[in-house]
Structure 1
């Protein structure tokens, strides 16, 4: 019997074609770069020809590699159909789920949810990938992820969605700020206030501005954060104001910090 490629090797090849980079392809497959590289080399040895040309910065597929990627897509799709059919027969009790989650939700929702998922489905393997919304949806559409946990609204063409919770924002400010101590604040109260927000690419930035009807507002000059933890530390240092989701607050994001929290009216 002929030696045949494994599904794992085919998945590595497809990821390499999608990302054009061994490191990013390995991350998408939830393996180390050396593991993915070895898998590609084994596939090349099996086929007796190179599938990729490696340079210092990028990876280019050979003509044979391009043809093999098309076959790999077809074979992986058929394999996934087989698994889906089996799961429909027995329910989702085992197998694996590849879940993507954005960094403004993952650290605050997953610690409470994961133990319950593990208890309900002890034989199921759960793989997690944390990234920004656009890249997660790209992986979902390509079949690299089974589901994505993110915040709406966001363009979701070609993707089925299910709302599982609704969240609100609160203003976080130094305790001596003029807005601290109020029972709530209106949109006009923030119109002239410099807000510290997440950098472009994080959908929470647009959601926070939309919550107080400040869409299109320019960035705070000289400041750009990539995490909620950075934002709350800046507020605690008296350097400005920000808007925080209730989910993160309930998970203890501001615990122990000298910060005033004020709900948005409406």
Structure 2
């Protein structure tokens, strides 16, 4: 008889979602060799490969596609059962595991967290920061309950519910000494002067798309891990950058920085709250979305 664990199923689903063993291992918080060993164990039990190993990553085999589809159903049912046993009247009796992307958390969390704790009395929160792919993987593998992300891209994977919160417009930050006039056309910016976050940040991808940067952005010699680092370079006249408007209260306090609106239609992102459709706590997460919308001006 074939014995498969839920954890093995989560690993296989993560590989299918990310397309790479390395990314899947990172999302599941285990080493790549350990994850590969578990996937190989499934393949040995099934007697056939789940994935074609390619130079650029992996691709599910026809059997693998069916396996992953069925595994998702099992995982959704298992997660729903676990949540049901923990829940009472649609509310969890443990802290809500709440993830946010790094280009939102330090700017929005101080504003919304007091409102969430006041609006949902009796509920606790454990908060973590991570990039969008890792947050979605956390929803997939059940390590997160709900996530706040900033992307308009369709969400792949198990059935996810997305509630729009508000639009977050982008502005241009330059050194005040440059004397740039407002508003600024994105097409007028010198591509080589635009400073970006490092790979994996959705805000990096949104900036590349908004500015229509050609070539290989990964070949740039500068890539920061935080907006605060980029802003310091901008203040010293070493480039320009786009900033989300929610970051201005924290990142635009340096008198050496000048903030400029963009020529219409400009650019921006939609912030959304996301969770698994199968959760029994959907009403609680809808309430979270309402509180965040009401709190943010």
Q: TM-score higher than 0.5 here?
A: yes
Query: Per-residue displacement from partner, 1:180-216 (whole Å, max 9, x unpaired)?
Result: xx1201122115552011111111012123334x154
Q: Do the aligned residues in 2 keep the contact of 1:170 with 1:262 (CA within 8 Å)?
A: yes
Q: Do the aligned residues in 1 keep the contact of 2:198 with 2:225 (CA within 8 Å)?
A: yes
Does 1 or 2 have the higher relative contact order (CA < 8 Å, sep 6+)?
Answer: 2
Query: Per-residue displacement from partner, 1:17-70 (whole Å, max 9, x unpaired)?
Result: 749xxxx99x979xxx9xxxxxxxxxxxxxxxxxxxxx9x7475697xx99xx9
Residue 76 to residue 107, structure 1, CA distance change in 2 (3 Å) = same
Cα distance in 2 for partners of 1:145, 1:109 equals 19
**Pairing 1:170–2:171 present:** yes
Displacement of 1:116 in angstroms is 1.1
Cα distance in 2 for partners of 1:233, 1:93 equals 42
Structure whose CA Rg is larger: 1
| 1:110 alignment counterpart | 109
Residue 206 to residue 76, structure 1, CA distance change in 2 (3 Å) = closer
Q: Do the aligned residues in 2 keep the contact of 1:209 with 1:217 (CA within 8 Å)?
A: no
| 2:252 alignment counterpart | 254
**Pairing 1:205–2:208 present:** no
Cα distance in 1 for partners of 2:215, 2:258 equals 23
| 1:153 alignment counterpart | 152
CA RMSD of aligned residues (A): 3.6
Cα distance in 1 for partners of 2:215, 2:110 equals 33
**Pairing 1:131–2:134 present:** no
Q: Structure 2 length as normaliser, TM-score? A: 0.61
Q: Structure 1 length as normaliser, TM-score? A: 0.67
Cα distance in 2 for partners of 1:187, 1:75 equals 48
| 2:141 alignment counterpart | 142
| 1:82 alignment counterpart | 85
Cα distance in 2 for partners of 1:131, 1:239 equals 28
Displacement of 1:82 in angstroms is 3.3
Cα distance in 1 for partners of 2:247, 2:215 equals 23
| 1:122 alignment counterpart | 121
Of Structure 1 and Structure 2, the greater strand share is in 2
Residue 81 to residue 216, structure 1, CA distance change in 2 (3 Å) = farther
| 1:5 alignment counterpart | none
Corresponding pairs, count? 216
Q: Do the aligned residues in 2 keep the contact of 1:93 with 1:123 (CA within 8 Å)?
A: no
Q: Do the aligned residues in 2 keep the contact of 1:100 with 1:131 (CA within 8 Å)?
A: yes
